[in-house]
Amino acid sequence: MANLNKAYKQLFARPVDERFSTFDDLYSNCLRVKDESTVHWKHPSDVFPVNRQGNLGLKLPADQAFAFNDWSFGQFCAVAEVKKETVNRLRIDTATQVLTETMPGGSRPFQVMTRGDAIRSIHGVSYTRLFDADILELVVDEAMDFNPPPVGLNGGTGLYAGEQDMFAFLIDEDSWVEIGGEQFAPGFFIWNSEVGRRTVGIETFWYQRVCANHIVWDATEVASYSRKHTANVGEAIDDIRMLLRRLVQIRDQRKDAFAKAMGNAMDTRLGSTAEEVSKTLAAQGIGMSYIKAAVEMMANQSSQFTLFQAVDALTRLTGRLENAGDRAEQDVKIGRLLSLAF
Report if residue 231 sits inside a domain. yes
Check: CB of residue 135 under 8 Å from CB of residue 235: no
Check: CB of residue 203 under 8 Å from CB of residue 176: no
Report if residue 138 sits inside a domain. yes
Residue 14's H or E segment, with its range, is none
Q: Residue 116: which region, alpha, beta or left (left: phi > 0; alpha: psi -120 to 50)?
A: left
Check: CB of residue 218 under 8 Å from CB of residue 230: no
- In this structure, are 20 and 59 located in the same domain? no
- In this structure, are 143 and 239 located in the same domain? yes
Q: What is the pLDDT of residue 11?
A: 94
Check: CB of residue 185 under 8 Å from CB of residue 171: yes
> β-strand 118-123 against 65-68: which pairing, if any?
parallel
Domain boundary among the residues 106, 122, 138 is at 106
Q: What is the pLDDT of residue 255?
A: 80
pTM of the full structure: 0.77
Domain encompassing residue 309 = 268-341
Report if residue 123 sits inside a domain. no
- In this structure, are 29 and 154 located in the same domain? yes
- In this structure, are 142 and 247 located in the same domain? yes
Q: What is the pLDDT of residue 132?
A: 97
Average pLDDT score over the chain: 87
- In this structure, are 246 and 294 located in the same domain? no
How far is residue 295's CA from residue 181's CA, in Å, rounded to a whole number?
A: 22
- In this structure, are 22 and 142 located in the same domain? yes
Report if residue 112 sits inside a domain. no
Q: What is the pLDDT of residue 231?
A: 85
Residue type, 71: W
Q: What is the pLDDT of residue 339?
A: 65
Q: What is the pLDDT of residue 197?
A: 93
- In this structure, are 223 and 314 located in the same domain? no
Tell me the pLDDT of the chain (342 aa) as tens digits: 689 999 999 999 999 999 999 999 999 999 999 999 999 998 888 888 998 888 899 988 877 789 999 999 999 999 889 999 998 899 999 999 999 888 887 788 999 999 999 999 999 889 999 999 999 999 999 999 999 999 998 899 999 999 999 999 999 999 888 776 678 899 999 999 999 999 999 999 999 999 999 999 989 889 999 999 998 888 999 999 999 999 999 998 888 776 666 667 777 788 788 888 888 888 888 888 888 888 888 887 766 788 778 877 877 777 666 565 556 566 667 767 766 665
For the chain, what is the domain count? 3
Report if residue 134 sits inside a domain. yes
- In this structure, are 153 and 20 located in the same domain? yes
Q: What is the pLDDT of residue 261?
A: 64
Q: What is the pLDDT of residue 317?
A: 77
- In this structure, are 297 and 239 located in the same domain? no
Q: What is the pLDDT of residue 24?
A: 97
For 117-129, the pLDDT digits (tens) are 999 999 988 999 9
Burial label for 324, CB within 10 Å (0-12, 13-18, 19+), is exposed
Report if residue 121 sits inside a domain. no
| Neighbouring C-alpha atoms within 13 Å toward the C-beta of 7 | 34
Domain boundary among the residues 257, 284, 309 is at 257
- In this structure, are 278 and 224 located in the same domain? no
Mapped onto helix, strand or coil, the DSSP state of residue 191 is strand
Domain boundary among the residues 257, 278, 306 is at 257
- In this structure, are 19 and 72 located in the same domain? no
